[in-house]
Chains A and B, each alone.
Chain A
Amino acid sequence: MKATLRAIGTRLLYGIPVLLIVTLGAAALMDLMPGSPGQAILGDAATAEQVAAINAQLGYDQPFLQRYLDWAGSALRGDFGQTLFSREPVAEVLLRRLAVTAQLALMALVMALAVAVPLALIAALRAGKLLDRVLGFVTSALLSIPSFVTVVLVSLIFVVWLGAFPATGWVPPSDSLADNLRYAFLPALSLSIYECAFFYRVIRSDLTGTLREDFILVARAKGLPRTHIITRHALRPSITSLVTVMGLSLGRLLGGAVIVEFFFAVPGLGAEAVNAVSIKDMPMIQGIVTVCVVAYVLIFIVVDLAYAWIDPRVSVR
């Protein structure tokens, strides 16, 4: 137990320099980019002096290091500042967006697992036969489709041809769960396609290795039923790789759903990030970046803990 706690502590400790570098880097990058918050607020017709005046009001005429330290100081006290336009607390807005993206990510993961695991099992059992070859080809193909093509195809099939799902938009679950699922289905589906193919390949290759192990032979020799062998013996060793890729996927989904959110007009973290970058909303950008790093560190702590729990041979270093 102590070792585990120490390991968690180490991970968290390592996360801190990452956080610092990332937030500092974000501040530096925003500085290098053209445009300014004043320009975004005042819009087209403003003169250069007016823009400069607003920027001064917002504290933008100070050197970026000073601004960064100010932000870091208040962030440590829990105050992440206010959004540029609506002046809402960044933390609140972030939580709302995170909830949306998290929901999509979880739905995508569940969909991907639900399809990938059974298929991988069947394919591994029939390794080398037609089904395995076809699935291998199909998943390889699915991994080669970029997300901006996936969204267009998904939209074409489900919106234009089937007409069963809304083209864009989002309804929070608190308003109506049924509507929320309707609106969330297409974005989650688009996200899950890549993950499903990825999971399938990992599980399948893991399983083919496991199924060749001696203990499977022993189990067969003992006369255990096939289902029992599959579920209790064959899947177990693959769980670690599954957990790893789920962690990777979750990390990827939380940060990378930008195109899907853009296309389906879903108000999640990715959409907010693109918006914040374009209007140079510094508090929001720093907030998003912080959330991403924290989520990333947490996910990998959980993954490591899961390793230790699943496989007693693995000790968390």
Chain B
Amino acid sequence: MKMSRLRIAAVAAMSAAAIALAGCSGGGGSPSSPSASAPSGETPVAGGDLEIIVAGTIATWDPGSSTGSFPGVNWDRLYAVYGALLSVNVDGSMDYGFAESLTTEDGGATWTLKLKPDLTFTDGEPYDAAAVKANWDRFADPANALGAISVAGTFTSEVIDETTLEITPSEPNPVLDIQIANAIPFIASPKSFPEPGENLTEPVGAGPFVLDEWDPAVGESLVKNEDYHIDGLPYLDSLTFTLVADPAQRVSTVVQGGANIMNGYPFQWVSDADNPAVGVFPVASGGIRHFVFNTTSDLFSDVRARQAVQLAVNPDEMVQTLTQDPSAQGSTALFPESSPYYDGALSLPEQDVEAAQELVDEITAEGTDFTVDLLVAGVPELIRAGELLQLTLQQLDGVTVNLNQIPIPDWRAEAFDKDNFDITFYPGVFDLDSPQVGMGALFGKGGLDNFANFDNADMEAALAEAREATTDDDRQAALRKVQEIYVEEVPIVVFGIDYRSFLHTADVVGFQSMGRGALYTDRIGFKSE
């Protein structure tokens, strides 16, 4: 398959980022490496109105309601009005916004947050340590029913002086800074707090933009905050998020120039790859495409059942069908080849249908019914992947697969809260930025992405080691153990690596994304003519 220009450019960008990844270290301030933690391309000119197309509106402007630093969900909008205390870059380094530093001297038992001085919200209230504490205490209060409680509830804080806050987690937590950056970096003016249960519809923050109009069926429009704490930023005069529900139409709109940016995956715009009017910006951290076994279900609590399914699947076929890209490569390792944590030996076994059949026969001979409830969120690529998995598994004797397709807004409740599945596909990719934290979310007990309900003592130990590691070697060893357990227990089956990307009109420059893909909208802008 011929490599298009855009493809080559994307791969080059990824390799550059990968080199930067090799030099990563987490926990406590670390030097940013140039290529992945600075905006791409030339410096934007001042001025301009940028339009970003999104798939859905946001439900609330509450700073405690973020659902992850992914592009296209509410993180982009929250960053626009609130800015961030600190963020994680794609290479794992920290990007400090309103915070000057967030450090620990004692391995995570206490943390110290230092704010930049003389910050104010757009309503005039001071953005000081007290304001930060007020926000975090509010997140931690169960009466407010905010998702942020999952991180904010793990620590208490104390104001030392105007710009210093001391944070004490309930247990020593060496990766608290990454967790804060990925969940609760948004601080709102305490005057704007709503009553418990009320929706926050009028946000007041100190971010690069101020909310101008919000129409849930149309989108959100924001204008430049003239008093943003960094001189010269944001470059843009206004930022608009526009809703376009149909995915193919999102691509059309950007290609035609009707909007400037959309986020997705490279396979969605393959036919426009050579169009000079558009460019692609990949999020270098990349992620794994995988499906998950419910290890607490009757059938898949047995590791042989999981191995049987895994042996029946051809990862190349699976990723090609999902992306409709005949040149896509399958991969069953937890990391991409360019990652320092990658080890070719730590991949799942190759496809072996006979061995799969043997395992199935073993299980059915014991009287267990090999009926699989496959849950699929109703997006076209996952439906394809789900149908392929069903087709593949039903070629084995004794296997029945029931495919249950539900709308994507309802998927997480079915899959995570109710565990109503045997196998489900994880939508999109699971990001590999900060794997020492990410793997915990994926495999750790109680992890927010642990759909498999995996609970394994060795894994817990390895994850703890990864979090607490202070040197690259220690971290590498710990993550190696994680991968070994993954190969042995097969709670999930990875079948490909993919990179979130942005399709944008050629005149947009200054792209920089956070670890899981959300854009720094204060640093983006238009090329000079």
Contact = CB atoms under 8 A, between A and B. Distances in A.
Check A-B contact in the complex, CB < 8 A.
Answer: yes
A71 interface: no
Contacts of A85: 57-60, 199, 201, 216
A151 to B, nearest CB: 9
Nearest to A152: B248
B256 A166 contact: yes
A166 B407 CA distance: 28
Interface in B40-98: 57-60, 65, 67-68, 74
Interface of B: 57-60, 65, 67-68, 74, 142-143, 145-147, 149-150, 196-199, 201, 214-218, 242-246, 249-250, 252-253, 256, 258-259, 406-407, 409-410, 412-413, 416-417, 448
B249 A46 contact: no
A17 B416 CA distance: 43
A43 B65 contact: yes
Contacts of A155: 249, 252
Given A53-B143, A58-B197, A263-B249, 19 more contacts: A34-B410, A39-B413, A43-B147, A44-B68, A44-B147, A44-B412, A45-B147, A45-B150, A48-B417, A57-B197, A85-B60, A97-B217, A168-B244, A168-B253, A168-B258, A169-B253, A262-B246, A263-B246, A265-B242
Interface in A55-88: 57-58, 83-87
B409 A86 contact: no
B217 A275 contact: yes
Interface string A145-166: 0000000000100011001001
B145 A53 contact: yes
B203 to A, nearest CB: 12
Nearest to A169: B258
A46 B145 contact: yes
B252 A168 contact: yes
Contact of B252 (A44, A48, A167, A267): A167
Contacts of B143: 53
28 contacts: A35-B410, A39-B413, A42-B65, A42-B145, A42-B146, A44-B68, A44-B412, A45-B68, A45-B147, A47-B417, A53-B143, A54-B145, A54-B197, A85-B59, A93-B215, A96-B215, A97-B217, A155-B249, A166-B253, A166-B256, A166-B258, A167-B258, A168-B244, A168-B249, A169-B242, A262-B245, A265-B253, A267-B217
Contacts of A271: 217, 245
Interface string A251-286: 000000000001111010001100100110000000
Interface string A212-227: 0000000000000000
A93 B74 CA distance: 22
A41 B199 contact: yes
Nearest to A268: B217
B57 A53 contact: no
A50 interface: yes
Contact of B201 (A49, A87, A267, A279): A87
B146 to A, nearest CB: 8
Q: Which 7 A-B pairs have CB atoms at the shortest separation, nearest pair first?
A: A57-B197, A45-B147, A50-B145, A167-B252, A265-B244, A267-B217, A44-B412
B60 A41 contact: yes
A263 B244 CA distance: 8
A170 interface: yes
